[in-house]
């Protein structure tokens, strides 16, 4: 079968012929119906080096995956051949307290995790940018609700799950009189806007430098849009009557967006860093609003993925997506890297 493989750090992946995976005991093979192209894959290609992660190339890319159960290994009970499923992306040890709670991204026994720590399919192990994906344990499969197709579900496993996790942890501050700000209306940001509107009564402000992205945010329900750059923080404060935003989700994470987050935040607010933009945030007693909570977040939990898929099945969260056949996967990444794409790119093996 064909697979898009990253063979070395700081290189473009290559479409390669590899053997079709066979499931061992407890394992499942999924026939891929969609694999999302994530901006974090570009970090793997352009920035990471030996020692950055506990694992190294070569491996097949694609950590946002959905498809149909194709083959079952010995002892597997539950899924049926042909059943549509989403793949929960982070693969932990399965036995520590975090994994038992469905939070494999925060596995505390990394040495026993399939990829050797902080990984999964497409992150140290072979991912879904291929015709078939080997999933090491049936617990990583989530049945798709009726009416939700794999090509639509694939990006939800990260691009929606990650901001959903961030929004969910700030629910107590997202009261009807609150304001939430989403910085960066890309693959994650346009879904963050919809998740905020679907699960809270807070007003939502979207910030981006691209007119097309702000238009996408408006269609997703944003109450107000702000052009990134000088004056953005002041405009947000004016919109909030001078108080600032109660919750800010930074889907970019560079120096400029982090500084904007602090400048626009309300006392006792939340600033959650989602994007891997490489920025840093100076901290001092008077350098940010009092009791501003600043946190990073990584992916989400398996129970939260069930909730995300339910929202999508009811039409409350819709991914703006562009599909590409596997043979054009690098075209998808190049368009993502150049900023040409609006929303999410999904690679569909066998399409075209």
Domains of the chain: 2-158+300-348 (3.90.180.10), 161-296 (3.40.50.720)
- Residue 97 to residue 106: CA distance in whole angstroms: 10
Q: What pLDDT is recorded for position 226?
A: 98
Q: What pLDDT is recorded for position 178?
A: 98
Q: What pLDDT is recorded for position 116?
A: 77
What value, to the nearest 5°, has the Cα angle with vertex 161 and ends 158 and 167? 140
Cis before 58? omega within 30: yes
- Residue 89 to residue 308: CA distance in whole angstroms: 14
| SS3 (DSSP) at 323 | strand
Length of the chain: 352
Under 8 Å between Cβ of 310 and 91: no
Q: What pLDDT is recorded for position 341?
A: 86
Q: What pLDDT is recorded for position 53?
A: 87
Residues of the chain with pLDDT under 70: 352
| SS3 (DSSP) at 35 | strand
């Amino acid at each position: 079968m064909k697979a898009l493989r990253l063979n070395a750090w700081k290189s473009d992946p290559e479409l390669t012929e590899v053997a079709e995976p066979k499931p061992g005991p407890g394992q499942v093979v999924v026939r891929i119906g969609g694999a999302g192209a994530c901006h974090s894959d570009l970090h793997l290609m352009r920035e990471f080096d030996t020692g950055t992660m506990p694992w190294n190339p070569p491996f097949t890319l694609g950590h946002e995956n959905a498809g149909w159960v194709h083959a079952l290994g010995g002892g597997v009970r539950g899924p049926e051949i042909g059943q549509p499923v989403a793949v929960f992306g982070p693969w932990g040890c399965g036995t520590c307290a975090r994994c038992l709670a469905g939070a494999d991204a925060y596995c505390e026994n990394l040495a026993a995790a399939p990829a050797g720590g902080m990984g999964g399919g497409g992150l140290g192990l072979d991912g879904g940018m291929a015709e078939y994906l080997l999933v090491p344990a049936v617990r990583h499969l989530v049945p798709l609700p009726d009416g939700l197709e794999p090509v639509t579900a694939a990006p939800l496993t990260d691009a929606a799950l990650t901001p959903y996790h961030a929004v969910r942890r700030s629910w107590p501050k997202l009261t009807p009189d609150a304001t939430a700000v989403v910085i960066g209306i890309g693959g994650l940001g346009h879904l963050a806007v919809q998740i905020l509107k679907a699960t809270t009564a807070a007003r939502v402000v979207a910030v981006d430098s691209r007119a097309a992205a702000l238009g996408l945010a408006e269609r997703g329900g944003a109450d107000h849009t702000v052009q990134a750059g000088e004056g953005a923080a002041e405009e947000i404060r004016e919109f909030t009557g001078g108080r600032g935003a109660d919750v800010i989700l930074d889907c970019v994470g560079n120096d400029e967006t982090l500084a904007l987050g602090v400048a626009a935040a309300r006392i006792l607010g939340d600033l959650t860093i989602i994007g891997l933009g490489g920025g840093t945030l100076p901290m001092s007693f008077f350098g940010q609003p009092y009791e501003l909570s600043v946190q990073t977040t990584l992916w989400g939990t398996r129970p939260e993925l069930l909730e995300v898929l339910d929202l999508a099945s009811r039409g409350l969260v819709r991914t703006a997506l562009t599909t590409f056949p596997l043979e054009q996967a690098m075209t998808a990444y190049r368009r993502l890297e150049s900023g040409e794409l609006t929303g999410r790119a999904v690679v569909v093996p066998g399409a075209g």
